[in-house]
Structure formats: C-alpha cells, structure tokens
Amino acid sequence: MKKVFIFFIMIIFLTGNLSLPQNTYAATNQNVETVANNYVIQFGGNRKLQELINLRLGRPANTNITKADAASITGTFTITQKGVDDLEGIQFLVNVNILDARSNNISDATPLTKFPATAKLVEVRLNLNKITSLDFIPQINLPLKKLNLSHNLLTGSIPNPSTALASSLEEFYIDTNLGGNKIENISNIVNYTQLKRFGFGENKVADISPLKNTRIIPDDYTFGGQRLSLTVNSDNFLSPLKNLDGATPQIIETATVKNDGNKIKLLKKAGTGTETINYSYLQTLNGVTKNATGTILVNYTIPLAYEFTYSSQSPALTKESVKVTLKINAEINPPAGWTKKADGVYEKTFAQNATENFQFSFVDATIPATPNATIIVNNIDKTSPTIDFLQDVPTNYKKQHTVKIKVSDDNPDTNSYYYGFSDSNTCDASVTYSNSFVSESEITLNDSSKNGKYLCVTAKDSAGNISYKSSTNPIKIDNVAPTVSGVSEKIFVVGSSEAQNYTLTSGLTFSDNVDNATTLASLFQCNGFSGYNPNAVGIYTVTCSLKDSSENEVTGITWNVKIVQADKTALRDAVNTATTAKNHPKVYEGKAEVERVITQANTVLNDTNATTSDITQAISNLNQAISRLRRDETAPEIYGVSEKEIFVGDDFSPLAGVTATDNIDGKIILTVNHITENTVKIDKTGEYKIKYEVSDSKGNKTIIERKIIVKENDKAELKKEIEKAEEKLKNSQLSLEDAKKLQEEIKKAKDILNNVNAKKDEIEKVTKSLNKFLGGINYGSSPNRNGMKVANDSRVKTGNEVEENNTSKQENTQKTKEEKVETKQGKETKQENEKVQENNNENNKEPLLLEELKKKLEEQGKELKVKEINGTTKIYSTSKKYSNCEMIPNIIGDYNKDYKINFKDQENIKNQDEVQRLTKVKILNEKGVNNTELFEGTRGITRAEFLAIVLQVHCYDVSKKPEILPFYDVDLKSWQARVVKVGSEIGLIQGYERDSRGIPFRPDVEISKIEAFGIMMKMKEIEKMESYKDRYIDKKADWQEKPLSTGEYLGILKPEQTDFRFNPDSHLTRDEMVKLIVDIVRLY
C-alpha cells in the first residue's frame, strides 16, 4: 500500500510540471525577444493555432508550446482551411520562411507586428480571411517580400509602410473577386519602393495615377474590375476616374451614357434611379500593357429640364428660315411639325414669322405635365434692297465719269453698299466689290484701266438679302495725252532736195489711245517757221502743241531746222590719202598724174559754193589717179635652202649652193651677213636650223628657215666586234685576268657604241682596238697565274686550303682589332680591300678559271654572276631559286616607266623610283597605308609586314592558314600567321630566344635594319667570290659581317656616306625598305 501511494505522488508531481509553467504572461504582452526559451506560449481565440503547431511538431493537440518549440519550426508553415480565428502566438515561429494561413476566419493580423526584426519570415498568405483593417502594416518590423491579403473585408486606404516593409516588400495583393475588399485610395503605394507586383482588382479604386512612379509590373490582378459607386443630382457630373497620367479616361458609351470631356453625361434620365457605367482602357506601366476596367454604379435624382434654341433670334434679322431646337431630358410625344433628331432632341423649321403655343406630352406617364410653352419667330426678312442709277455711265469717252446711285430698303445696311467692275453687264457674287459708296451721292470714275468694263453695284439689308445691278454702258475713260515722236533737230545741205521738200510734220509720228493719226495731225499747232528758205544758210526754232478730242493736251514740242554748207571732210581725207600714196617709197610710176588731180581737189575745197556733186566728182578723180600708181611689192627669192642631212664630224658650210634673185634688182650676192641665225653643232646629233634674210632696193624682204639634220655615224662594224667579244667572253676558257681586261675593252667599245655623237675616227679607233685585243688573247690550256683569286670558297678546291685557313684566322684576329677603330680606320679598311684585290694574283698559287668555278656552282644549284658595278668588275654567286618568279623581272624591268604614283605625301618620298616599281606590281597598296592615300615613308615597318612584302616579291603563296606555328605570340586567325607559316617553313625566320611561354616571333615589333638586310641577302643566297671586308665599325655580332661585307662589295652599301656606321639595331623605315628590296633584287 505504501508503494502505491508514492507512485501516485510522483504522478501528480510530474503532471504538475507539465501544466504549470514557471513563466506566464498575458497573451497580448508576449514579447518574443524578452521571454525565455522555456516560456509557454499563450494562444487566443479557438486555439486552433496551438493544435496546428503541435501537429507540425508531432505532438498532442493540447500540449503546451514553448518559445524554443516554436523556434524549431522552419520552412513553410501551412494552416489553410483549418478554421483558425486568431493568430496570437504566431510571432514565435521566428524561423518560418512562409506563413500560409489562407481560407480561415482570421479577422485581425496584428500578431504579425509582434515578430522580431530578426525573424526569417518573408512571405505571408492571409487571403480568403475576414481581416477588416490594414492598420497593422505600419507596425510590421519584418522585411517581408510577399504579403497576400486578397479576398478579405478591407476598407479605406493603403497605409504608409513601416520602414522595414518600405524597402523590402516586392509583392502585395488586396484583390478580390467576391466583393470583400473595398479599398478606395492607393496614394501611399509610391512609398513601397521595392514593390514589383501589386494586385488590387475588384476594389473601389478610381484613381490609379499613384502607380506611375513605381516599379510595379502590372498583371491581370493589378487594376482590373474596380467596383465604384456614385450619387449625383445632375445628368452631367465629373468622372471620378484618373489614369496613370492623372488624366480622365473615357467610359464605355451607351444609348444613355456619353463622355463629355472630363464629365459623364446621362441621357433621358429625369427622376430617380440607378445607372451602371462600364469603363475599360489600356495602360502601360514599366513596359507592360494591361486593361484598367471596372463599373461605376450611379444613383441619380435628376429634375426635369428643357430649353428652346433658335438658329436666329430677334432682334437680329435673317433672310433664312429659322430652325427651333428643343432639348429635354425626357422622352416626349412631339407635336405636329416637330421632328425627333436624337434622344431628347426635337426640331421645327419656320419659313416665315409665327407664334406657337403647346404643352409637352411625355412618353413616361410618371413625369407630370408641364405648362404651355411659347415660341415666337418674328425676325425673318426675305425682301432684297432696290438699286437705281440716278446718273449712269455716259456712252462716249471722257476724262472722268460722274455716277449717282440710290438704294432703297426697309431694313437697310448702309455699310454693305459697294461697287466693282465686271467684263460683262452681268453682276453677281463673282465680281469683286472693293469700293464703298453712299446712296444718292456722286461717284467719280477716272481709272482708264477699267475701260470696257461695266460698273457693278451691290447692297444688302440687315437680314442679309443682297441685290446687284450693272451700269447701262461700259466705262470709257480717256485721261491720256497724245504723243508726238520723231522730234529732233533737222540739218539740211543748202539747195538739197530734203531742204526743198521739208514740212513741219515731216518725220513726225502722232499717236493717241483714242484719236487716229490723221485727226491728231489736223490738231497740231506750231509757230516760228515763217520765212523758211531752203537755199540760204540759217537756223529756224519751231515750237508746237497738240490737244486730242478729249481735251488731253501736250505742249512744249520744240526743235531746230538748220540749212548748212556741204560737208568736205571726205574730200580732205581723199587729198591726204592721195598725198600719202604718191609719196610711198616703193612707187616707181604714176606720181605726176596724182599731183595734178590733188591740185584740182584743193580748188574744190576752197570753193564755199561747191555742191555735194562737185565734192563727189573730185573724190572720184583722186581715187582713179591713185589706182594708176605702180609699186615694187615683190620680195627676192632664195634658192638652195632645202633640208639637208650630214653626219657627226662632217665638213659643212651654210652658204654652199645658196643663191638669191629679185624681179627688179636681179641677182643678189649673198654673204654671212645674210645669215641671221645658225644653231648647227657638227659634233652632236640633232635637228638644227639656219635662218637666211635677203632684202631688195625697195626694202622687200625674204626670210627662210632651213633644217639641218646631224645624224649618227654608222656603227655596224663596231657592233659586230662587240658581239664577237661577248661571245668569246661567254664561251672561251679565259683566265680571270683576261676576262677582266676583255670586259674593260667591251666597256670602252660600248661607250662609243652608245654615244650617238661619236665621230667616225673614234668609231674606227675603238673597233680596231677591240679587234686587235681579240686577236692577241692566249687560249692555251695553262691558266694565267695572274688570274683573279676567289677567296675562301669551300665549293672549289684549289690545293691552298691550309694557307687560306691560316689567312682566315689571321683575318678574324685582325677583324676583332678593327671593330674598335673609328671612321679613320674605316677608310684604312677600304684601302686595304683595294690592295687585297690588286694582290689577289700574287697570293693565289693556283688561280681558278671562271669556267671551272661556274661548273662547281651549277652542281650546287647556283650560278656565277660577273657584273660591272660602279666601274669595277664584281664576281659573286646566287642560288637559282625563283627563276620562274615573274614578279622579279616585273620589278626591275622598264615596263613601269610610264606608271605614276599619286600619294598625297609624294614630295616627301626619297626613293620614288623604287616606290613606283613596287606599287606598280601591287606589292605596295596604291591607295596608301590603310587606304589613306599616304605612303608614310618615315614610318617604321613591323617584322610581319616586312616578311609579307619579301615573300610576295619572291612569288610565295601566303594565302593558306596554318594549323600550328612554332611561335606562341602569332594569332593563328590573323594574316600574320599565314606569312609566318611560309617564312618558318622555308627556314627564313627562327624567332627570338625561348622564354617561359615558348619561342616568340614578335610580329608587331618594328624590324631592325640588319634583320631586314640579312633576310633579303638570304633569299637568293648572295655571296661574294672575292676576299672583301666591310668597313663598318658598329657591328653587334659576328654574323652581321657576312651580309654587310657582301653588300658593300656589291655597291649597295656605302659606309663613307654614313660615317662608317650601319646602325644595325635602328628601325627600318618604309622609304628605306623599298630601296633595300629593289637594290638587292637588281643583283639577281
């Protein structure tokens, strides 16, 4: 029995611990942040929330829940459709991300404000509940991202958000499709700065303009289906709607509802009732377009109203019928003569003045009848004014017309009286009426430009009735005075027929716009012409006037009539001409006859009574006497001056075989004084001239120019000897010494052959010298020991290899010393090279034959070159590569001599010939660097650019892309890769020293002079065949000696012009590049 009791006590103790917590608070004061973890949460309402939390924890429904228990729940907490009516205690679910409490009976969301700011809740779903207020929103401390309050019982406005919500909430929903939420104002939505989704469909929001400056992306629930209500006591009221821009959108019109600007107009709505108005308009917010839709339920109480309007009403008069319009806000049965034009609109037209009384009869019997309405029309006037001409336009021409017009009307409009002009007597509205007049007052017309037109008059009365009337006659205004032309001073010779027949109207022309010339001549009046005598010298001053039939007059017509002696100027000129003619130095016959006639003419000149006929006859006699004069006008003739050909050096005399004769003087003896110009140079070919000038005793002169051609002497024999010598040089086994001497003889002969001014004795001399030299050459089998030495060529075995090797060592030692010597030592090196070349024969015990060397080189795929360079014979070898490359002969050939380059900076190009050659064959872009039309000669050239040009010059195909390259810094997709591929494949390039990434080529680095020179010399494997050491003092490596010494030996490098410095590391310019390439190609 004792054991049972103890167990029971323990049971009570244990159960007491479960039901009596240590810390208890009222449910409304539960502070999550201040209570302990073992604090037991107090729940409100039906405590369904406690059951659901325990269900989530896997415990019995009524188990007490501590703060720690609630904090253990994470993720989404779903309590949808569970009958929850109170959220108190939910604030302890601090680690829940999503609270889904849809479809419950929750009416208060205040517990959401009790969540600490550190809670993890980001989304709350309280849609389909019974929440009535949004007052909790400003108190929420959580940075919620989504809040769904759709389908609740919300009213009023959207409140300002809490600080946390203002910068966190992205989605907010208060829409409803059950008519629950009735939010009217969303102006504070702009303060939700991060909001992107906002659904408020089917609320009572009329003004959506607050959304414009938000980040909200609208969807179908954003602003659709609003349910507005409105009470009005007028049929025309302001629309409550505002779109995103704050403007008033249009409603959907029906037969009883119309838009009226920013107002809404109800039609046919007298009395009390309701009207449902629909609206739908597109809105674009943040790039998304959605429909803003909804309805407006209008409760109206509108009194009956009507009005009459007149198209014209007294006191204003009208000539038209008057239309009376009735507008009433109810449907009536229109009286007789009235026509329904639209709902509530009726019309009747009155053609004459009348008064009408009637009472409205309404279709809707509930509207009480109105008293009688009266319409009075008393302003119709359809009678036009009367126009009468009291004084009309006359039938004949006048300077001006005076017209008087009378206008009669009961309701006159005196400001409407105007006149104008018409081409016909039909006056109507088409005529321009621009001049006003006063009834029964005179009108003066004096504008002749209106002649032929009719005067048109128009007048209106106050009602607008108009009348027109025309004058009987067209207008005839003549205000133009007549004219007299041809008035000028008249001068007549005494006794002439013109003087005898002259009258005052002679030569005059009369004209007038109305009168003819005959009438005007009869009206011409003059004085001052009495006593006129055509046979006596005198002056008569005439003054006249002329008046036409319209009394237009011209006066002051004045001129002089003069009777003068005959003019003797021509006779004086004829006497002077005859005197000059007889005194001409070439006259030899007829002089006495002219002198006699001159005496007779002078008699006429001195006779004051001489007539024109006397003067004419004297002139005729002088002309006949002049025609009988005889002159010597024939110049001498020169013979023997035809074109002549002579040869350079011939004897030649310019007077040999040349003669001259004259028609009067006979034979003329010629001397050197008759030669005025002689350009002949007997020692130079060309075309020359000799000018001869011969005169006779009368001064007649003959000048003849003669062509003398100095031609080149015959060189056929010399040319044959040169061909024989060149054939022997090519095919015979000559020692180097004889070959060299033969070349010198050939050079001398060619100098004469190419000299077009060579004299005959010079040609004969050099021909004989060459012939003699050819006959004296010894063609024995033993070579001449004085032949040219070919230095250090391993391809030819001479038996002196040991000696040459020793010599080579000595030269290398000497070279090391010479590299330290300045310009002075360079000059000494040149002198030493000249001594070496002179002593080649003495130092070589077994000189080689050119033929033997040529064969040795051919076995190695090379060829021997013997050329005269700068006056000295040079021997060198090249490979036979590129023998089929057509680019090389095109570059050095003459076919491009007429090609012209057109670079903008052409004047700055030093090596224009070389640039022209490479541009002609398309190695250089004729449009310049990057198509700028600039050559940019001073710009450097990169390693890749130089390699590309060199390969194109030697006909390499650089169009294939490589799959791999030995150099890491060349982009396989670039044009440089195609060039580097070919250069590496033929062994022309190797790249720089390997670094951590591999072997670089550095394609974009500007190439140095020594690199470029070495590459070009390597292309054709050019090597000198004689010992020669360059004179440059700034070489940087041993390998530079070979290309530099070869270049200097072959004359393409001249150290003395650069102070014996090559500057091997300096960058090669584009101008230097073209010179280098063409100079070396010329050696091929």
At 472, the pLDDT band (50, 70, 90 cuts) reads very high
Mean pLDDT across 393-405: 91
Q: Tell me which of 342-346, 522-526, 795-799, 953-957 is least confident.
A: 795-799
At 785, the pLDDT band (50, 70, 90 cuts) reads very low
Q: Is 415 helix (H, G, I), strand (E, B) or coil?
A: strand
Mean pLDDT across 822-834: 48
**CATH of 386-470 given 3.40.720, 1.10.3470, 2.60.40, 3.80.30:** 2.60.40
pLDDT in the model for residue 47: 96
Q: Is residue 811 predicted with pLDDT exceeding 70?
A: no
At 88, the pLDDT band (50, 70, 90 cuts) reads very high
Q: Is 457 helix (H, G, I), strand (E, B) or coil?
A: strand
Q: Is residue 401 predicted with pLDDT exceeding 70?
A: yes
Q: Is residue 655 predicted with pLDDT exceeding 70?
A: yes
At 806, the pLDDT band (50, 70, 90 cuts) reads very low
Mean pLDDT across 424-452: 94
Same fold: 19-130 with 484-564: no
Mean pLDDT across 817-833: 45
Q: Delimit the domains of the chain by residue range.
A: 19-130, 306-377, 386-470, 484-564, 569-631, 637-711, 716-869, 884-1020+1031-1081
Q: Is residue 245 predicted with pLDDT exceeding 70?
A: yes
DSSP 108-125: --GGGGGS-TT----EEE
Global pTM reads 0.38
pLDDT in the model for residue 608: 78
Q: Is residue 463 predicted with pLDDT exceeding 60?
A: yes
Mean pLDDT across 494-503: 86
Q: Tell me which of 291-300, 706-715, 734-743, 1058-1067 is least confident.
A: 734-743
pLDDT in the model for residue 178: 66
DSSP 998-1054: BB---TTSBPBHHHHHHHHHHHTT-EESS------S---SGGGHHHHHHHHHTTS--
Looking at per-residue pLDDT, the higher value among 188 and 333 belongs to 188
Q: Please write the tens of the pLDDT for every residue from 577-598.
A: 999 998 998 888 888 899 899 9
pLDDT in the model for residue 52: 97
Q: Is residue 953 predicted with pLDDT exceeding 80?
A: yes
Q: Is residue 928 predicted with pLDDT exceeding 80?
A: yes
pLDDT in the model for residue 536: 79
pLDDT in the model for residue 834: 52
**Residue 738 backbone zone (phi > 0: left; psi -120 to 50: alpha; other: beta):** alpha
Q: What is the mean pLDDT of the chain?
A: 86
**CATH of 637-711 given 3.30.479.30, 3.40.50.300, 2.60.40.10, 3.40.190.10:** 2.60.40.10
Q: Is residue 293 predicted with pLDDT exceeding 90?
A: yes
- How distant, in Å, are the alpha carbons of 80, 188, 273, 353, 707 from that of 193? 30, 11, 44, 72, 107
Q: Is residue 660 predicted with pLDDT exceeding 90?
A: yes
Q: Please write the tens of the pLDDT for every residue from 374-389.
A: 889 988 988 999 999 9
Report the alpha-carbon distance of residue 739 to residue 727 in Å, rounded. Answer: 12
CATH architecture of the domain with range 484-564 = Sandwich (2.60)
At 733, the pLDDT band (50, 70, 90 cuts) reads low
CATH of domain 19-130: 3.80.10.10
Report the alpha-carbon distance of residue 557 to residue 873 in Å, rounded. Answer: 110
pLDDT in the model for residue 798: 29
Report the alpha-carbon distance of residue 626 to residue 580 in Å, rounded. Answer: 10
DSSP classification of residue 929: G
Q: Is 461 helix (H, G, I), strand (E, B) or coil?
A: strand
pLDDT in the model for residue 782: 32
At 846, the pLDDT band (50, 70, 90 cuts) reads very low
Write down the CATH superfamily of domain 569-631: AF1782-like (1.20.1270.90)
Of all residues in the chain, what percent carry a pLDDT higher than 90?
58
Q: Is residue 803 predicted with pLDDT exceeding 80?
A: no
